[in-house]
Amino acid sequence: MRNNSILLIYTGGTIGMHKDAETGSLIPFDFTRILEQIPELKLIDKKIETIAFDKPIDSSNARPYHWKKLAELIEENYDNYDGFVILHGTDTMAYTASALSFMLENLSKPVILTGSQLPIGDLRTDAKENIITSIEIAGTYEDEKPVVPEVAIYFEFKLLRGNRATKYSSEHFNAFDSPNYLPLAQSGVFLKFFKHRILPVPDGIFHAHKEIAENVIILKIHPALTEVQLSGILNIPHLKAVVLETYGAGNALTEKWFLDLIKKAIHEKSIHIINISQCHSGGISPYKYETGKKLMETGVFNGKDMTTEAALAKMMYLLGKNLSKKAIKQAFERPIRGDISI
């Protein structure tokens, strides 16, 4: 049932800052007074309510605990709103969006993350347009169904699937990119949705998964990687999974010490190791070159064209479900939230 209302969740970040008149330093502003900062919101035919974290965080301090808190807030308020807009710092926004995409199962309402490169009080801020359009997207329904029933990031006129997005610029307003999946919508004079790219409304009952594993790391292959370094990493106590960023199409060292350590980690320590490309766009074609083929023969997962953020979040989510090793591999290597290209 439609409520004609949107919940705005403020977690922290640049978007919620304004300059102190006396000191000139950036301080958080009271988000319950958002209509004073953005009077244009009164033109939107939606009731807008706000919730703010008790202590706003810089997104550099975002932790899995905060993902769980956001999932809980959405679950608690799910029936009361048509959609949700999360205001979040840009540095870890893609990690949070990826995590929520997996944690929010059978999501049939929009969850839109946005932020800004300049504080909301700045003369040239990008915050206002990002917030206004995110709210409009979160409230867009057709035939009583949401147009965007998934977790997405809206930034600088583009709506991107949350688990396909990555931050690629620290200074441009166009800070996010979705290298392996085209935008879900484009904002201009008109708000244009590309419906064939958007996930369908699911049939199941909404459920928020809040049990996620945190003993997962990211390791980028580089020419100076040594046996001692890799051994030390793979012997971290209680380590459950490694997102391995390999060269190009999924290639890595073929030296015996490297392959032996990877095999031992997988088969003796039951560590899940994921092969993804460290390139910005494209995925892995691990059997194209001998260097990729030998790595895959050790038993690593095929991460295909996933982003690093999505691979990390998906593994954390799957490990939290207490599945068998085989079931985790099967689930990881197929798209479950539009996270992998078919």
CA 284 to chain centre: 20
Task: Pick the closest to residue 249 from 210, 297, 281, 208 (CA basis).
Answer: 281
Q: Contact at 8 Å (CB) between 85 and 135?
A: yes
Instruction: Please identify every residue annotated as catalytic.
Output: 14
Report the alpha-carbon distance of residue 311 to residue 296 in Å, rounded.
Answer: 17
φ, ψ (nearest 5 deg) of residue 221: -65, 135
Paired residues of 241 in beta bridges = 216, 272
